[in-house]
Amino acid sequence: QSVLTQPPSASGTPGQRVTISCSGSSSNIGSNYVYWYQQLPGTAPKLLIYRNNQRPSGVPDRFSGSKSGTSASLAISGLRSEDEADYYCAAWDDSLSAFYVFGTGTKVTVL
Amino acid sequence: EVQLVESGGGLVQPGGSLRLSCAASGFTFSSYWMSWVRQAPGKGLEWVANIKQDGSEKYYVDSVKGRFTISRDNAKNSLYLQMNSLRAEDTAVYYCASILIAPLDYWGQGTLVTVSS
């Protein structure tokens, strides 16, 4: 079961800004970096943001990440149709039950 | 170019075993931690296991401890997941992923494991 909580869905029209929240605890987000993954329909996930707010090479600067306390967020500005996908946050966890935990996932729909 | 290619998935009966493989290329495999992640049909992602560069450290999610074993062969640039005592809830697409600059920064295409009688 997922340890990090995300809203099940988010939506926007092309060009809009969409924000996805990710809520955790002191053992994961509160004490470790946050990562974000994008999963386009029918494909494997792809790393989108690492170390809270860093973008891997090739990821557009329309995607940005932030973290505060035990929560994090992903923002997509200038929403495009190709951004329609599932988005997952993740973090290392210092508890004994899991080493790396994911969020529940958010389906972004471009209206 | 980093490439990860999984194989070995299929249909297996409850209580059965399966061994997944992941062939890595495009990077110095022996220098990096590696992971397995799974995704049940229509569900979210679940980290399964990690293994250190030399195989000396391994970590598992609680639900697979004692049943799954992660291993690697650096000479063959390959990662493995031995799955025993399989249950219906283990049905999922299993992904191999690397930890180069960040956790799970490159992923394979996945291999489907179906546990059913």
**Which residues from chain B sit within 8 angstroms of residue A88, using beta carbons?**
44-45
- How does residue A95 score in pLDDT terms, banded at 50, 70 and 90? confident
Torsions phi, psi for B94 (to 5 deg): -105, 125
Amino acid symbol at A109: T
Query: CA nearest A29: which of A98, A95, A92?
Result: A92
Q: What share of chain B is helix, strand, coil (3-state, %, to 5)?
A: 10, 55, 35
Q: Give the tens place of pLDDT for each residue, A3-27.
A: 899 999 999 999 999 999 999 999 9
Structure tokens at B64: 């697979």
- What is the structure's pLDDT at A96? 65
Q: Can you say whether the dihedral through the CA atoms of B103, B93, A2, A73 is positive or negative?
A: positive
**Which residues from chain A sit within 8 angstroms of residue B60, using beta carbons?**
99
**Which residues from chain B sit within 8 angstroms of residue A105, using beta carbons?**
44-45
CA distance A1 to A4: 9
Give, for A38, the enclosing helix (H) or strand (E): strand A34-39
User: Residue A65: pLDDT above 80?
Assistant: yes
What pLDDT tens digit does each residue of chain B (117 aa) get? 999 999 999 999 999 999 999 999 999 999 999 999 999 999 999 999 999 999 999 999 999 999 999 999 999 999 999 999 999 999 999 999 999 989 999 999 999 999 999
Least Cα separation, residue B43 to chain A (angstroms): 9
- What is the structure's pLDDT at A99? 86
Query: CA nearest B34: which of B95, B102, B98?
Result: B98
Taking any CB pair shorter than 8 Å as contact, residues of chain B touching chain A are 35, 37, 44-47, 50, 59-62, 95, 101-110
Best of B104, B105, B106 to substitute, by most chain A Cβ atoms within 10 angstroms, is B104
**Starting at the edge strand that comes first in sequence, how are the strands of the sheet with B68-73 ordered?**
B3-7, B18-25, B78-83, B68-73
When pLDDT is averaged across residues A37-41 and rounded to a whole number, the result is 97
B89 by Cβ neighbours in 10 Å (0-12 / 13-18 / 19+) ranks as exposed
B61–A97: do the CB atoms touch at under 8 Å?
Answer: yes
